[in-house]
A and B are shown apart, each in its own frame.
Chain A
Amino acid sequence: MAIKNIISIIITNYVFRRFLFFLLIIWIASTAIFLIPRLSGQDPVKEKLLLEAQRGGHMQAGLEEMAASYSAKFGLDKPLIVQYGNYMKDLVRFDFGPSIAYFPKSVNSLIGDSVVWTFGLLSVCTFLAFFIGTIAGALLGWPKSPNFLQYVFMPILTLAAIPYYLLALVLIYIFAFNLDWFPLFGGYAVAQLPEWSFSFIGQVIHHAILPASSIVLASLGFWALGMRGMMVTNQGEDFMIAAEAKGLRSIRLFFNYAVRNAILPQTTALALSLGTVFTGSVLVEVIFRYPGLGNTLYQAIKLNDFFVIRGMIFIVIVTLGLATFIIDVTYPLLDPRVSYKKGG
């Protein structure tokens, strides 16, 4: 009986159910990535190898070796279900095989080289956009804030509709090409090797300003619109009327009552927005030739380097799933109305 109880507690446990959902995301995504190439009836890896063999280009040396290891590794003659099992085994060990274009470099080392850049850029951008956008939205949805704010923020809100990379193209033309305030491309100066020094860090920041501003400017509106909507909804609630009747000061009403309640849905939106921010930034990185994941993905697509594409997409989905899981699990700590138990 005790065991039965424990099992039922585990199954109804909120954290456990979120974790199952996280596993489900990874399973569905990896299965889709496995099945799509089979459904299309083409084998990009084989095609790429053939193409390179015909060209007799710079990869001639590694070709034989690679083709052999490739067919041995994936056992392409074996039935689909065995291939699927092997593929899953590799994924669990985070082994994505070698890159085709940069053989014998592994997919993992290619991703490892670029992940720091993307992680740094996107975490700063997401934080800034969330912070500025939420404040802007709170002020826009507050009846006592000055009118001129409407005219300042409204044009920025419409930027929410525009993809990051269009803004990036405009910014690079104005501030890098015409005004020459910022470098045109790269993560640091061309002749520089990455090192831990103040001048290098300065360079990195100088290079990151334009890509970061295009991401922040274009994603501000999303946060501002959500926050404004919640502030407006809260306006007529009983707790606001009660607080106002108590004669609390306006600033206290704003922060402790209106903002405190409106900000909760914003944190849930944070989980869903991470994917949008990553996919949106891919082309920004390409345009600025920023040495991050997006640019590596773009190069892999151009070179038809399927292992790199697959490995990177898998890792991004795992990261997003994990971030969603963490935000879902911490959410009840922020909002006591959502309980950990089922049906809460």
Chain B
Amino acid sequence: MATANATTQDLTAKTFRRRLEDFWRYVKRNPSLGVGLGLFLSLFLFVAIGYATYEVERYRPLSGGPDLAPFEKDSYNPVTRANGYILGTDRQGRDVMAVMIAGIPLTLQIGLIAGLIGITVGTILAFMAAYYGGWIDQVISTIVDVGLTIPGILILIVIAVNLQSGLSVPQMGLAVSAVAWVWPARTIRAQVLVMREQLYVEIARLSGTSGFSIMFKEMLPNLAPYIGASLVGSVASAILASVGLEALGLGPFDSPTLGMTIYWNIQFSSILHGMWWWFGPPILVLAMIFVGLFLMTAGLDEWSNPRLRKRV
């Protein structure tokens, strides 16, 4: 009994290792996916180690003295904080290091909420439009075309201005999702249109399968890689929109998200005071997030859409 268990464990460990090796080999052929994943992995590690070892609660205002450079003595807490803070503090006494550790997951959370809702709604609309065609397609496609012409952030500004009284982080994600479905709806519709003509769909239709189950049991699993790849792109644009709104002063004021950190930087002109430790970290982290998502989208695109593999 024990030996049998051990061998199955051995086997799973082996297949797991083989899978990992396969994955590693693929990543080597697809460097943009690798670099993008690497950037995200380092951010996750930073947050995990930060939560395990750092006093993240210090992201709150008045945690320390204002305007302290890194390792500058905190005259408010001279006994406990003679060596100051790794990344100093901002104008309102937030510990910038703690703000970064707490802010990265919050910003990603907003992007993930909006991206998931956007992809779900977009996929449903795309399937309805492409599968049923006719006037349903006409109406959905026209609305999507209008939505593509109107910059989403302008509509988001109107929404956020009217919701101003205390947005929370999940509400921020919900607000951004109001415009996040447009682009997925457009691109997934194009994919469904191609797929609808394929033989297995035709056969399913001839054998009397209902439209609903053709769409969600036959076609959806085949499109899953493509939808997964678009999810990354949609999370990226949701984060872009949310950080933009926050930097304009339309975000969750009580939360230390990266966008709000940019807002406080603009508000207190940290650059004119040369406080590089305050504006540098959020810029660096946001650049890592955006470049990481961008490279991952490019990499996943190649993975899910083999026709692109011709030439890099």
A residues engaging B (CB < 8 A)? 21, 24-25, 28-29, 32-33, 36-37, 40, 42, 44, 158, 160-163, 165-166, 169-170, 172-173, 177, 184, 232, 235, 272, 275-276, 278-279, 282-283, 286-287, 297-298, 301-302, 304, 306, 309-310, 313, 316-317, 320-321, 324
Closest to A306 in B: B161
Taken together as a complex, chains A and B put the C-alpha atoms of A241 and B146 apart, in Å, by 39
Contact A275 B151 (CB under 8 A): yes
- Asked if B136 is an interface residue, CB under 8 A from chain A, the answer is no
- CB-contact partner of B151 in A36, A177, A279, under 8 A: A279
Task: For the complex of A and B, list the 10 residue pairs with the smallest distance between their C-beta atoms, beginning with the closest.
Answer: A161-B294, A275-B151, A40-B162, A161-B290, A279-B153, A279-B151, A313-B154, A37-B162, A161-B291, A36-B158
B58 nearest CB across to chain A (Å): 24
Convert B251-271 into 0s and 1s, putting 1 for each residue whose CB lies closer than 8 angstroms to a CB of A: 000000000001001100001
A240 nearest CB across to chain B (Å): 14
- CB-contact partner of B286 in A24, A29, A166, under 8 A: A166
Stretch at the interface among B69-77, B206-214, B272-280: B272-280
Closest to A42 in B: B162
Total cross-chain contacts (CB, 8 A): 126
Contact B287 A166 (CB under 8 A): yes
B-side binding surface: helix, strand, loop or mixed?
helix
Given A166-B287, A282-B248, 16 more A-B residue pairs with CB atoms under 8 Å apart are A21-B145, A32-B155, A33-B155, A33-B158, A161-B291, A162-B286, A163-B240, A163-B286, A166-B286, A169-B271, A184-B271, A286-B248, A287-B266, A297-B157, A316-B154, A317-B150
Contact A272 B150 (CB under 8 A): no
Residues of A within 8 A of B158 (CB): 32-33, 36-37, 309-310, 313
Contact A324 B274 (CB under 8 A): no
Convert B125-164 into 0s and 1s, putting 1 for each residue whose CB lies closer than 8 angstroms to a CB of A: 0000000000000000011011011110111011101111
Residues of B within 8 A of A33 (CB): 155, 158
Residues of B within 8 A of A279 (CB): 151, 153-154, 244
Contact B276 A40 (CB under 8 A): no
Contact size range, B: 35 or more
Closest to A158 in B: B291
Taken together as a complex, chains A and B put the C-alpha atoms of A184 and B161 apart, in Å, by 29
Residues of A within 8 A of B159 (CB): 36, 40
Residues of A within 8 A of B238 (CB): none
Some 19 contacts from A to B, beta carbons below 8 A apart, are A28-B146, A40-B163, A44-B161, A162-B286, A163-B240, A173-B279, A177-B272, A184-B272, A232-B311, A272-B149, A275-B149, A275-B151, A282-B248, A283-B266, A287-B266, A301-B157, A309-B161, A320-B150, A324-B149
Residues of A within 8 A of B3 (CB): none
A239 nearest CB across to chain B (Å): 18
Taken together as a complex, chains A and B put the C-alpha atoms of A36 and B159 apart, in Å, by 6
Contact B286 A173 (CB under 8 A): no
Closest to B283 in A: A166
Residues of A within 8 A of B151 (CB): 275-276, 278-279, 316, 320
Taken together as a complex, chains A and B put the C-alpha atoms of A309 and B290 apart, in Å, by 28
Taken together as a complex, chains A and B put the C-alpha atoms of A102 and B157 apart, in Å, by 20
Taken together as a complex, chains A and B put the C-alpha atoms of A276 and B151 apart, in Å, by 7
Closest to A275 in B: B151
Residues of B within 8 A of A301 (CB): 157, 161, 248-250
- Asked if B293 is an interface residue, CB under 8 A from chain A, the answer is yes
Closest to A143 in B: B311
- CB-contact partner of A309 in B150, B157, B165, B310, under 8 A: B157
Taken together as a complex, chains A and B put the C-alpha atoms of A162 and B294 apart, in Å, by 9
Residues of A within 8 A of B248 (CB): 282-283, 286, 298, 301
Closest to B272 in A: A184
Residues of B within 8 A of A160 (CB): 294
- Asked if B33 is an interface residue, CB under 8 A from chain A, the answer is no
Taken together as a complex, chains A and B put the C-alpha atoms of A37 and B159 apart, in Å, by 7
B residues engaging A (CB < 8 A)? 142-143, 145-146, 148-151, 153-155, 157-159, 161-165, 236, 240, 243-244, 247-250, 262, 265-266, 271-272, 274, 276, 279, 283, 286-287, 290-291, 293-295, 310-311
A160 nearest CB across to chain B (Å): 7
Taken together as a complex, chains A and B put the C-alpha atoms of A317 and B148 apart, in Å, by 11
- CB-contact partner of A44 in B143, B150, B154, B162, under 8 A: B162
Contact A169 B265 (CB under 8 A): yes
Known: A40-B163, A283-B247, A309-B158. A29 touches B150 (CB 8 A): yes
Contact B247 A24 (CB under 8 A): no
Determine which residue in A21, A169, A235, A278 has the highest number of CB atoms from chain B within 10 A of its CB, and name it. A169
Contact B149 A25 (CB under 8 A): yes
Residues of A within 8 A of B164 (CB): 44, 304
B166 nearest CB across to chain A (Å): 12
Residues of B within 8 A of A161 (CB): 236, 290-291, 293-295
Residues of A within 8 A of B274 (CB): 177
Contact B161 A304 (CB under 8 A): yes
Taken together as a complex, chains A and B put the C-alpha atoms of A278 and B271 apart, in Å, by 24
Residues of B within 8 A of A282 (CB): 244, 248
Taken together as a complex, chains A and B put the C-alpha atoms of A93 and B218 apart, in Å, by 52
Taken together as a complex, chains A and B put the C-alpha atoms of A329 and B164 apart, in Å, by 40
Residues of B within 8 A of A29 (CB): 146, 150, 155
A310 nearest CB across to chain B (Å): 7
Taken together as a complex, chains A and B put the C-alpha atoms of A275 and B271 apart, in Å, by 28
Taken together as a complex, chains A and B put the C-alpha atoms of A160 and B294 apart, in Å, by 9
Residues of A within 8 A of B286 (CB): 162-163, 166
Contact A320 B283 (CB under 8 A): no
A273 nearest CB across to chain B (Å): 11
Taken together as a complex, chains A and B put the C-alpha atoms of A302 and B165 apart, in Å, by 14
A65 nearest CB across to chain B (Å): 24
Determine which residue in B162, B164, B249 has the highest number of CB atoms from chain A within 10 A of its CB, and name it. B162
Determine which residue in B151, B243, B295 has the highest number of CB atoms from chain A within 10 A of its CB, and name it. B151
Contact B142 A24 (CB under 8 A): yes
